[in-house]
Amino acid sequence: MAPQPQTVGQNTEQRTSQQTGITRGHWTTVIVVSAVISVVAVLIGTYKFQIGPAALVLLPIIWAVIIGGIVGTQRVRRLSASSRAVATLLLEIGIIVFLARLGLGIGPSLAKITETGPAVLLQEAGHIFGTVILALPIAVALGLGRVAIGATWSIDRESFLAYALQRFGVRSGEYRGVFSVWLLGSLFGAVFISLLAGTIGNLGILDPRALALGLGLGSASMMLGGVGALSIIYPQHAGEIAALAALSNLVTNIVGFYAGVFLSLPLGRRLYRFWSRLFGRNDEGKSIRKLAANAEASTNEGVAPVAVENDPTVKTRPRTLVFAYAVMGAMALLTNAVGTKGFHAEDVLGVVVLLALTGVSFALAKLVPSVPSSVWVLSLATIVSAPFMPTAGFVAGISQHLDSTLVGLPSLTLIGLTLGRDVAALKSLSWKIIVVALVTYSASFIAAAVLGQLALH
């Protein structure tokens, strides 16, 4: 039996807090509501709105978060704290299932890394460190506190969102930073990168191939937006631009997560302490000098500026965990069937394998607490699906019809449903997170393009 998935950041007091009040009704409410929202999001489909030379693309994952967020924050019939506790437990399982599916897609592409030139590999350094070095000090100076770490250690796509949830917990500033940048990027990232790539491309200061390499941000929508803009400016290089951008994006998806976890995040945390001391900010982003000068304010130092509701903890007996795993597996099958308009017998076996990888990852994370389950599951899934493994053919056969976005969509719905607990904290970020997000995207793209230029010339 897999161990209980626990949100990192919960202290002993929270784990042993009152657990009464969570009934079958709360489980039923969360399961039914999240399943309905997930299916509705898939049925709404993808909509593309043209904004000048760029395009705003709304995908099912965005609808899932938006609808889930509306339901989770509305005041007519509020989602109770007990229901949010159930949603959080299901989310912790579902997000790892999603990463398992991503890992199964990475394994078969490992061989392609050896085919990439130094320019493609070097641009990854730009994605990793450009955001930390350039965007982090701005975020700290604006007073985002620990939110700055989550907002600037990467461009925060889905795998980083899952890692932040596991590593820091849903109540942490780091997670709020990742979630905010992820949401902004999902909504407007393609439009912004399209405009940015087009603007820099028109300046003629960088090789279009270098700009194409910079588009490997780990986001398909951002990459496509930038490719579209550059292809208009350099129509004679359109094919090469698309190929290089796709290859760069592949490399980012394969190695970017590990580089972010083991390189840019540790670097970002160290630099955060430096910039916080330099700008005189505490972990909530408040000015230490102002707090010290104001006796009344100083008594509140170290207290979050906004209240975050404390939900009860679900008591996870073995049968509860089995049921929770089964629920997330069933919802993954449901959304995948609706989205792909088909169901295959091997899909069930594929989801069982994803659940097994999830359970093993939680067990390993318990044995080695320094490595969270999100890292374990992506590593294990990548290994079992790698071409050099005897399991590769079997894994490819049972997962070929499972779309990673559709498998992960119920988890994004659950994120929306739990926003009621954190909506006040998210609102407090205001315009600052938008500025930081745009700087993060820009720094990552420009730094990678410049490094690509140096490698090409």
Mean pLDDT over residues 183-193, rounded? Answer: 79
DSSP class of 80: P
C-beta separation of 365 from 167 below 8 A: no
Q: What pLDDT shows up at residue 313? A: 77
In a domain, 288, yes or no: yes
Mean pLDDT over residues 334-350, rounded? Answer: 93
**43-47, 284-288, 331-335, 417-421: least confidently modelled range:** 417-421
pLDDT at 36 over 90: yes
**42-56, 226-240, 252-266: least confidently modelled range:** 42-56
Mean pLDDT over residues 339-352, rounded? Answer: 93
Domain count, the chain: 1
Residue recorded with tokens 């990467």 = 154
Give pLDDT tens digits for 78-94.
Answer: 788 888 889 989 988 99
Q: What pLDDT shows up at residue 329? A: 95
In a domain, 292, yes or no: yes
pLDDT at 21 over 60: yes
Residue 247 sits at the vertex; the CA angle it makes with 241 and 249, to the nearest 5 degrees, is 100
Q: What pLDDT shows up at residue 370? A: 74
Helical ranges in 3-75 per DSSP H: 12-15, 24-44, 60-73
Domain residues for the domain of 328 are 21-303+317-456
pLDDT at 237 over 50: yes
Q: Specify the higher pLDDT residue, 261 or 139.
A: 139
Q: What pLDDT shows up at residue 227? A: 84
Q: What pLDDT shows up at residue 16? A: 35
pLDDT at 61 over 50: yes
Mean pLDDT over residues 234-245, rounded? Answer: 83
Q: What pLDDT shows up at residue 299? A: 45
Round to whole Å and give the CA distance between 86 and 68: 15
Q: What pLDDT shows up at residue 73? A: 83
Write phi, then psi, for 142 (nearest 5 degrees): -75, -10
Q: What pLDDT shows up at residue 50? A: 65
In a domain, 273, yes or no: yes
Give pLDDT tens digits for 374-413.
Answer: 888 888 998 999 888 999 999 999 998 998 889 988 988 8
From the number of C-beta atoms within 10 Å of its C-beta (0-12, 13-18, 19+), residue 95 rates as buried
In a domain, 134, yes or no: yes
In a domain, 312, yes or no: no
Mean pLDDT over residues 189-216, rounded? Answer: 86
Q: What is the pLDDT confidence band of residue 108, given thresholds at 50, 70 and 90? A: confident
Q: What pLDDT shows up at residue 137? A: 94
Nearest to 45 by CA among 335, 398, 455: 335
Query: Over the chain, what is the mean pLDDT?
Result: 81
In a domain, 13, yes or no: no
Round to whole Å and give the CA distance between 160 and 22: 30
In a domain, 310, yes or no: no
Q: What pLDDT shows up at residue 375? A: 81
Q: b or e along 62-81 (b: 16 or more beta carbons within 10 Å of the residue's beta carbon)? A: bbbbbbbbebbbeeeeebbb
Q: State the angle between helix axes of 430-456 and 190-203 in degrees (0 to 180), rounded to the nearest 10.
A: 40
Q: Specify the higher pLDDT residue, 89 or 107.
A: 89
Q: Is 48 helix (H, G, I), strand (E, B) or coil?
A: strand
Single-letter code of the amino acid located at 434: I
Q: Ranked by mean pLDDT, which of 85-89, 166-170, 358-362 comes out on top?
A: 358-362
In a domain, 93, yes or no: yes
Q: Model-level pTM?
A: 0.72
